[in-house]
Structure 1
Amino acid sequence: MEYQNILFSVEDGIGMLTINRPKALNALNAATVAEMKDCVEKVAVNSDIKVLVITGSGDKSFVAGADIKEMATKNPAEGRAWGIFGQNVFTEIEKLPQPVIAAINGFALGGGCELSCACDFRYASENAKFGQPEVGLGITPGFGGTQRLTRVVGRGYAKELIYTGGMIDAQEAHRIGLVNKVVPQAELMDVVMKVAKKIAKNAPVAVQMSKAAINNGVNCDVVTGISYEAEVFGLCFATADQKEGMGAFVEKRKPAFTGK
């Protein structure tokens, strides 16, 4: 697929997916979500990509929401189908084997906030704004916002954001746990790339199994979760990276992981 609405590149094991509709503040229309789906599915099977970063083009917006003009005339069946389509793509992002970092460089509203919550964690620029304004448009969040935002920040903050339809700034987002770090906009990508490279230097299978254990565990009781953890912990001992990592530690050298 030739992309018209996103940009994608890979460098040093880091994939960069950029929503590229700056004139529309990177709003998500159907074509953009379809391109994201294609890109994410290719990332999932590319072992050369150790980490994926998702951001928006320009200096104003990460993703300002879904394309309202495109949604305005939908009937109930079409609205439901659009919601399911977006949810499925965001779930594919959430379930990617590789860690996914959201680099939030401006507005993260509606579908943009929902997209950020599908990522493993979020870094934001000082000018970033977050919100779920859907109730002001007569709809609910439809791309997973009622579920993922709640899991990220807790019921109280999620309900307040969704019920009021208001916006919060980056510092408040940091205070409630929606973002991990806030940095000046000019430094955002450098800071994100630094942490992405730090992740990429570790054993890829171990990182991916850790992600799977966390994601599976948050949706079950702790006993079931630690049972799953024991399984992936044991599987790591079947990898060449485990032998290399522990061997390098004993020999007091840096490991050279291969992802096998």
Structure 2
Amino acid sequence: MTNPSIRYEAANGIARLIIDQPAKMNAMTFDMWSSVPGLVKKAEDDRSVRAIVVEGAGEKAFCAGADISQFGAKRTGEEAVRAYDIAVANGMAAIHDAAKPTIAVIRGICFGGGCALALTCDLRFATSDSRFRVPAARLGLGYGFSSVRMMIKKLGVGAVADILISARILDASDGERSGVIHRAWPRETFDKEVTAYLETVAANAPLTLAAIKRSLVELSKPEAEQDAAAVDALIAKCFGSADYKEGQKAFLEKRLPVFKGE
């Protein structure tokens, strides 16, 4: 059995962060959480990458949350708990604040920290047999304030109260209604549908995507902390780019544009 890790793959304009511990339903270890910021940075620095996908290895799970077998060594005692929580928070923030759009591709189980990780992504697609749960109330652990705040911003107070207080399992229909996922497809067509969506994203103008993503990040902050000037600078960069001219030319010529991020 290979060591648990998050594998990085990049092709066709998409970087993939693949949570790879299928023997434990892709549960996240301390080292896996700690690796996320560096992997996101790698995708941000690659000019060929238009979007970042987060997914689980295999067909059974996106992520079952934290690897509880580590809690005795990694999450016992004040200092250890603090270090673990910082690693999780930094990993979540890296996905949420990434300079490029992030998309969770979910097959099967999406529980606990895995559900929170999916929610940090801008978009979330799942197989119709996927299941979602945040079972903190069944484990007796304190659920992090920053994670609750992030969930409320994404889903609203009512949906988050239900998810956390009941600790119940949500099916894909529940997930769509509550906003946990944006779309669910049957297993038979899932890969085809997701691939088509990713191809559409990868064909879009990188500078425009960057401006949109920065807008989403800034609007998730309290109004007093929002950096509108940073967004405006990215928007101005779009209008001054060769891609803007290419977009207009392609429209007039009735063809697909070829964007270069310049």
**Partner secondary structure for residue 62 of structure 1:** strand
Counterpart-to-counterpart distance in 1, 2:38 and 2:222: 30
- Alpha-carbon distance in structure 1 between the residues aligned to 2:63 and 2:146: 15
Cα distance 1:204–1:176, how it changes in 2: closer, same or farther (>3 A)? same
Does the 8 A contact of 1:113 with 1:145 survive in 2? no
Percent identity, aligned pairs only, is: 28
The TM-score normalised by the length of structure 1 is 0.91
User: Aligned-pair distance for 1:62?
Assistant: 0.6
Partner of residue 111 from structure 1, selected from 104, 110, 113: 113
Verify: 1:199 aligned to 2:201, yes or no.
yes
Match of 2:183 in 1: 181
Alignment CA distance shift 1:243-1:220 (3 Å): farther
Partner in structure 1 of residue 6 of structure 2: 6
2:35 aligned residue: 35
- Cα offset for 1:92? 0.8
Question: Which amino acid is 2:95 matched to?
Answer: I
Aligned length: 258
Task: Assess, with a 3 A threshold, how the Cα gap between structure 1 residues 32 and 230 changes in structure 2: closer, same or farther.
Answer: closer
Structure 1 distance, partners of 2:53, 2:145, is 19
Quick check: 1:68 aligned with 2:84? no
Deviations 1:76-128 (A, max 9, x none): 22112211111111111112222111011011111100110111110011121
Q: Distance in 1 between matches of 2:187 and 2:253?
A: 42
- In structure 2, which of residues 86, 96, 99 is the aligned counterpart of residue 97 of structure 1? 99
1:1-31 per-position Cα deviation (integer Å, ceiling 9, x unaligned): x985233222211122211111111000112
Q: How many Å separate the matches in 2 of 1:177 and 1:225?
A: 27
Does residue 120 of structure 1 match 2:93?
A: no
Which of 81, 84, 106 is the equivalent residue of 1:82?
84
CA distance 1:220–1:231, shift in 2 (3 Å): farther
Query: In structure 1, how many angstroms separate the alpha carbons of the residues matched to 2:234 and 2:49?
Result: 21
Alignment partners' CA distance in 1, 2:53 and 2:3: 17
Q: Structure 2 vs 1, CA of residues 25 and 147 (structure 1 numbering), >3 Å: closer, same or farther?
A: same
TM value normalised by structure 2:
0.90
**What 5-or-longer segments of structure 2 have no aligned partner?**
none
Q: Counterpart amino acid of 2:237? A: L
Matched AA of 1:60: K
Q: Tell me if the contact between 1:26 and 1:61 (Cα under 8 Å) persists in the aligned partners.
A: yes
The 2-side partners of 1:248 and 1:128 are apart by: 40
Q: Is the contact between residue 15 and residue 51 of structure 1 (CA under 8 Å) also seen in structure 2? A: yes
Task: Report if aligned partners of 1:132, 1:165 keep a CA contact under 8 Å in 2.
Answer: yes
Could you tell me which of 123, 135, 138 is aligned with 2:137? 135
Instruction: Give me the whole-angstrom Cα distance separating, in 2, the residues matched to 1:198 and 1:187.
Output: 17
**Would you say the 8 A contact 2:66–2:113 is kept in 1?**
yes
- Counterpart of 2:166? 164
Q: By how many angstroms is 1:49 displaced?
A: 1.1
Gap change, CA 1:162 and 1:205, over 3 Å in 2: same
Cα RMSD for the two superposed structures: 2.3
Q: Post-superposition shift, 1:235?
A: 2.9
**Structure 1 residues not aligned, in runs of 5+:** none
Q: For 1:151 and 1:186, how far apart are their aligned partners in 2?
A: 33
Q: Distance in 1 between matches of 2:3 and 2:261?
A: 29
**Letter in structure 1 aligned against 2:144:** G
Q: Is the 8 A contact 2:103 2:122 kept in 1?
A: yes
SS in 2 for 1:234: helix
Distance in 2 separating the partners of 1:143 and 1:101: 23
